Amino acid sequence: MMYTKTKRIICDIVRDDGHRSIANRIFSNVITALIIVNVTTVVLDLLEVIPARSEPVFYVIEAVSVAIFTVEYILRLWTVDILFPRIKPAKARLRYALSPMSLVDIMAILPFYLPMAFPINMTILRLLRLLRLLRVLKLNRYSNAKTSEMILSSIKEAIVLTDADGSFLSANNAAEKLFPSLKSLKKYAPINQSRDWPEELRNIDGQTAKDSISFEMNNSSSYHKADISFIYDREKLLRYIIIIQDVTETVLLERAERERLQSELMISAKIQSSMLPNVFPPFPNRTEFDIFALMDPAKEVGGDFYDFFFISENKLAVVMADVSGKGIPAALFMVKAKTLLENTAQRGKPLSEVMEIVNNQLCEGNDECMFVTVFLGVLDITSGKFSYVNGGHDVPLLKQGDRFDWLPVKPALMPGFMPGTKYEQDEITLQKGDVLFLYTDGVTEAENPGKEQFTDKRLIDVANECDLISARELLNFTRIKVDEFVDGEEQFDDITMLALLIE
């Protein structure tokens, strides 16, 4: 245990991979000073300007320098397996011995030992001692490491480097401040050993790394984003550079904006809901009919709408419509269409003319090419005559007798789609017990988890299955059947229905 601890301490002192502990800084400064002294002695010796009486001093300096360089090399060779824990010690030492920087060390100290073993001509010895100049490469390496460290430290964003296996290499001051446990994390230790390393970044490897990962700091209200870059060599992944930015202000602003929009949408939904008749029974003093309607928008605000209103004492108008698109644009177009339909119908004009007027006005300035499918009908309560016109809307259901069937309609284009479109009016007579069932395609196109639609057939089967007592009961029964069919699948379109029962 003591052996391993001592070995780690020595490794920390002599390593030359850019790691900058206090002991390593001191040792590196000593090596840098010796390199400068050695270069100076080699140059002076080469120029033959060293006085004879000073040669012993220079020899002692050279002997001390070479001794330190030799000890440095031996210690580094002995402890190199600490830097590469996943490689066998013998292989790690061989790798280091054959590395370019190791060869620089050997060639720098070799000329000192050669004369001890072999008689060498002074001129040749001087030439060999020129190899000592290769130690300048070491000086350059220390300079580059220090420069890189200064650059990383000056960057305000937290930066962490790992190798391809997710092992820790280095971190700047900002990263150590953000994750204090990185200070004590050994190089090449798995980054996951850092106690405060975020869970979202614990799978940094070639298979699971993402370009950008957002996470919330533990026990904090701060938010950060990690951008991960990759360093490759001939398509081989070498390491990851993880740049972590504090995005708390951005996240909080975005959250506030979402909450503001959500609040505005809720207010819009209430306004839209208040525009539709939602008090039932709507005409308590009228016993000639029973009417009920419901709307369930897919979003906070929708494009479907229903309406009913008297255009005279005994004439009741009913409307079912579906605007193209969803959300706020559809809701705005819905308000325009609803207002035009009611105001135009109140004039008492034939329904075909009402639709033509509304169509042309919706087409004006309609740069977004929006349209609305509309079914518009008017019931003469006194005679039971029901006049209606259909503008591209789903065909209503009509119950006369014991069963529902499709109401005969003349097809026509949707209002807002093409100016100048002509519409034709139909008429039928409704009697006591007859039921008119209007709906939008959000009902028939509702999907279950298997992406199967509810369909027209299921709708008419459900309507016929209902033991009809009131208009409300028919719609509630249908809504329950639709919910059972979709089985929790997300609603993607507005669901709107209206039932009119003649009493």
**pLDDT, tens digit, for every residue of 194-217?**
777 777 676 655 444 455 666 666
CB-CB neighbours of 468 under 10 Å: 16
The confidence score (pLDDT) of residue 171 equals 85
Top-tier CATH class for 155-246: alpha beta
Query: Side-chain half-sphere of 348: how many Cα atoms within 13 Å?
Result: 4
Mean pLDDT, residues 121-132: 57
Q: Which of 45, 28, 32, 33 is nearest to 112 (CA)?
A: 45
Indicate the DSSP class of residue 283.
-
Higher pLDDT, 48 or 122: 48
Checking if the pLDDT of 189 tops 50, the result is yes
Q: In this structure, which amino acid lies at residue 443?
A: V
Higher pLDDT, 378 or 174: 378
Establish whether domains 155-246 and 274-502 are of one fold: no
Token representation of residue 501: 């029962």
Q: Which of the given ranges, 263-277, 288-302, 334-348, has the highest pLDDT on average?
A: 334-348
Q: How far apart are CA 413 and CA 6, in angstroms?
A: 88
Mean pLDDT, residues 347-371: 93
The confidence score (pLDDT) of residue 174 equals 85
The fourth-level CATH superfamily of domain 274-502 is: PPM-type phosphatase domain (3.60.40.10)
Secondary structure element (H or E) that encloses residue 128, with its range = helix 122-129
Mean pLDDT, residues 383-397: 96
Q: Torsion over CA of 475, 304, 295 and 265, rounded to 10 degrees?
A: 170
Contacts 24+ apart (CB under 8 A), 215-221: 217/178, 221/248
The confidence score (pLDDT) of residue 192 equals 76
Q: How far apart are CA 11 and CA 131, in angstroms?
A: 26
Q: How far apart are CA 99 and CA 155, in angstroms?
A: 31
What pLDDT, in 10s, does the model give residues 218-258? 556 788 888 777 766 555 556 778 888 888 888 888 888 98
Q: Which of 127, 140, 20, 10 is nearest to 78 (CA)?
A: 10
The confidence score (pLDDT) of residue 125 equals 57
Q: How far apart are CA 319 and CA 188, in angstroms?
A: 72
Name the residue ranges covered by the structural domains of the chain.
2-149, 155-246, 274-502
What pLDDT, in 10s, does the model give residues 461-499? 999 999 878 999 999 999 999 999 999 898 888 899 999
Predicted model pTM: 0.57
